[in-house]
């Protein structure tokens, strides 16, 4: 297998601007540091089809569990901006369980109406015996620089707000302003977006188990006076929930068939992987992983190696890869999957970095044909020496959906390649650095 140096961009997106810093200075003054957030428990978070392409929704429900369903038939804006361009974010979260989120509308310039009907998109979360309360957060913003939200990625943005609100609840934070706490805790990732919006209004509503969860149709004004929300809450028992289709099309649903489940036990794989070594790398099947060890840096400023599945091609498929970085002290480590892989020069790049960023790009003839998402922080990524799960869905039509640890991060259409194989890669500016592909599951549509 021929070795080449893949070109990678050296210019990163700025994560903060002076305007955002000035805005945050007064809003976040006096905030105390909080303990590290727990990882939200939401293994089934996947987007599901909605009646309108202008809406992005994720419901955190699991099969066999009771649910809380919150329906919002009306949100009224007291003083909508003159151009009518408003985005409404809703998050429903159990601090000790799952969370759900909704972005409405996701289009530009948005819905010009001062009253928004969200009854077609109820939010649902799973409940268990330990669930004591859940909270609904509604945030309306007007974009002064819409391109900032687009650059961040609307799906990544709403996922960041969803996971941020869940963590804020889980920490038992007493701040009155969840948006300020979420932006403050984002390590700069949300500063630029925050500096580009005007807050139209926000409100938090809490539902409690000791009050029976259920809430009749109720109207509530936000403390800031910016909006009025009409909502209802319904507790759905586990038996009732079993009769409701779970809005979570996991990789076993539909016409997809699991064709490969590689755990690499005993150093074996039903797929044929590139194995080789030289003075700078070792690619080898070990017990429990396909492993890449970067051992030296020669004639360049970084170490790099990769290996692909050989003699197999996927065109209409879903793939889930558990990838691990071993060394905590690795410098600028990047690892992940090249999918729709044609050869060493042509593929789609989907990688994460040990500082919590991710990147998506179409590589054609060893150069960037299209930068889908330059390196960008995302709260779903486990930084440092950690294991992360990457999800890929690709179809012959060019529709591609990507996720990290259950959070959707990108959806786009690209027809550069009609399918291909998969490759695992490892990059770092220090050695030794070890990257491991510890499990790979592939589902194919129409497979026997």
Q: List, for residues 314-330, the tens digit of each pLDDT value.
A: 999 999 999 999 999 99
Is the pLDDT reported for residue 289 higher than 80?
A: yes
Angle, vertex CA 418, rays to CA 416 and CA 422, nearest 5: 100
Same domain for 122 and 260 = no
pLDDT more than 90, % of the chain: 52
- Residues 183-204, mean pLDDT to the nearest whole number: 90
pLDDT of residue 382: 95
Contact, 322 vs 387, CB < 8 A?
A: yes
Beta-carbon contacts of 132 under 8 Å, excluding residues fewer than 6 positions away, are 96, 208, 209, 210
Which of residues 109 and 76 earns the better pLDDT score? 76
Mean pLDDT of the chain: 82
Angle, vertex CA 73, rays to CA 72 and CA 74, nearest 5: 95
Same domain for 119 and 221 = yes
73 within a domain of the structure (yes/no): yes
Is the pLDDT reported for residue 2 higher than 70?
A: no
Which of residues 63 and 387 earns the better pLDDT score? 387
> What letters, b where the CB count within 10 A reaches 16 and e where it falls short, cover 184-208?
bbbeebbbbbbbbbebbbbbbbebe
pLDDT of residue 148: 76
Residue bearing tokens 């302003």: 177
125 within a domain of the structure (yes/no): yes
Report phi then psi at 240, rounded to 5: -65, -40
Q: Give the whole-angstrom CA distance, residue 297 versus residue 279.
A: 9
Report phi then psi at 414, rounded to 5: -145, 130
Sequence length of the chain is 448
Of 75-84, 228-237, 385-394, minimum mean pLDDT range = 75-84
Beta-carbon contacts of 72 under 8 Å, excluding residues fewer than 6 positions away, are 90, 118, 119, 122, 123, 138, 229, 230, 231
Q: List, for residues 340-382, the tens digit of each pLDDT value.
A: 999 999 999 999 999 999 999 999 998 888 888 889 899 899 9
- Residues 216-239, mean pLDDT to the nearest whole number: 90
Q: How many domains does the chain have?
A: 2
Same domain for 168 and 130 = yes
Is the pLDDT reported for residue 54 higher than 80?
A: no
Q: Give the whole-angstrom CA distance, residue 53 versus residue 38.
A: 32
pLDDT more than 70, % of the chain: 81
Q: Which of 208, 241, 274 is the last residue of a domain?
A: 241
CATH no. for residue 87?
Answer: 2.60.40.150
430 within a domain of the structure (yes/no): yes
72 within a domain of the structure (yes/no): yes
Same domain for 125 and 38 = yes
Q: Give the whole-angstrom CA distance, residue 256 versus residue 56.
A: 23
Which residues span the domain enclosing 174?
Answer: 31-241
Q: Is 65 helix (H, G, I), strand (E, B) or coil?
A: coil
Is the pLDDT reported for residue 411 higher than 90?
A: no
- Residues 11-38, mean pLDDT to the nearest whole number: 30
14 within a domain of the structure (yes/no): no
1 within a domain of the structure (yes/no): no
pLDDT of residue 102: 92
8 within a domain of the structure (yes/no): no
Split at pLDDT 50, 70, 90, the class of 227 is very high
Longest dimension (CA), the chain: 69
Residue 375 exposed, middle or buried by CB count within 10 Å (0-12, 13-18, 19+): buried
pLDDT of residue 247: 41
CATH no. for residue 314?
Answer: 2.60.120.560
pLDDT of residue 62: 74
pLDDT of residue 218: 86
10 within a domain of the structure (yes/no): no
Beta-carbon contacts of 181 under 8 Å, excluding residues fewer than 6 positions away, are 31, 34, 164, 168, 173, 175
Same domain for 265 and 197 = no
pLDDT of residue 112: 58
Q: Distance of CA 54 to CAs 49, 74, 80, 198, Å?
A: 11, 17, 19, 21
Single out the residue of 407, 25, 442 nearest to residue 261, CA to CA.
Answer: 442
């Amino acid at each position: 297998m021929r070795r080449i140096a893949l070109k990678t961009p050296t210019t990163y997106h700025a994560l903060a601007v002076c305007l955002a810093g000035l805005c945050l200075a007064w809003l976040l003054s006096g905030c105390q540091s909080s303990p590290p957030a727990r990882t939200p428990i939401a293994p089934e978070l996947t987007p599901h089809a909605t009646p309108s392409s202008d809406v992005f929704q994720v419901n955190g429900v699991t099969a066999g569990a009771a649910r809380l369903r919150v329906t919002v038939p009306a949100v009224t804006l007291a003083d909508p901006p003159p151009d009518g361009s408003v985005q409404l974010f809703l998050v429903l979260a159990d601090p000790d369980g799952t969370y759900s989120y909704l972005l409405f509308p996701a289009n530009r310039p948005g819905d010009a109406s001062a009253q928004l009907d969200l009854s077609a998109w109820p939010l649902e979360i799973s409940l268990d015996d330990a669930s004591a309360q859940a909270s609904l957060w509604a945030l309306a913003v007007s974009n002064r620089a819409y391109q900032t939200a687009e650059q961040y990625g609307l799906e990544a943005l709403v996922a960041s707000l969803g996971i941020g609100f869940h963590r804020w609840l889980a920490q038992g934070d007493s701040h009155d302003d969840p948006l300020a706490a979420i932006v403050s805790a984002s390590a700069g990732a949300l500063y630029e977006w925050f500096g580009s919006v005007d807050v139209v209004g926000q409100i938090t509503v809490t539902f409690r188990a000791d009050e029976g969860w259920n809430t009749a149709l109720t109207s509530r004004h936000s403390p800031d006076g910016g909006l009025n929300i009409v909502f209802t809450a319904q507790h759905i028992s586990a038996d009732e929930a079993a009769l409701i289709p779970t809005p979570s099309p996991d990789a076993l649903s539909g016409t997809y068939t699991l064709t490969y489940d590689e755990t690499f036990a005993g150093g074996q794989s039903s797929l044929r992987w590139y194995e080789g070594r030289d003075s700078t790398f070792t690619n080898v099947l070990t017990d429990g992983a396909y492993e890449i060890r970067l051992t030296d840096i020669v004639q360049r400023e970084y170490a790099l190696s990769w290996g692909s599945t050989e003699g197999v091609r996927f065109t209409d498929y879903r793939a889930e890869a558990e990838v691990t970085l071993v060394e905590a002290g690795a410098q600028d480590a990047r690892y992940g999957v090249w999918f729709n892989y044609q050869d060493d020069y042509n593929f789609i790049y989907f990688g994460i970095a040990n500082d919590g960023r991710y990147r998506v790009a179409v590589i054609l003839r060893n150069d960037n044909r299209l930068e889908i998402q330059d390196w960008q922080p995302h709260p779903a990524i486990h930084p440092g020496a950690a294991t992360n799960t990457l999800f890929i869905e690709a179809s012959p039509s060019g529709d591609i959906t990507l996720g990290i640890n259950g959070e959707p991060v990108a959806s786009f259409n690209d027809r550069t390649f009609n399918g291909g194989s998969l490759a695992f890669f490892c990059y770092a500016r220090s050695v030794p650095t070890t990257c491991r592909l510890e499990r790979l599951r592939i589902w194919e549509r129409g497979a026997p």
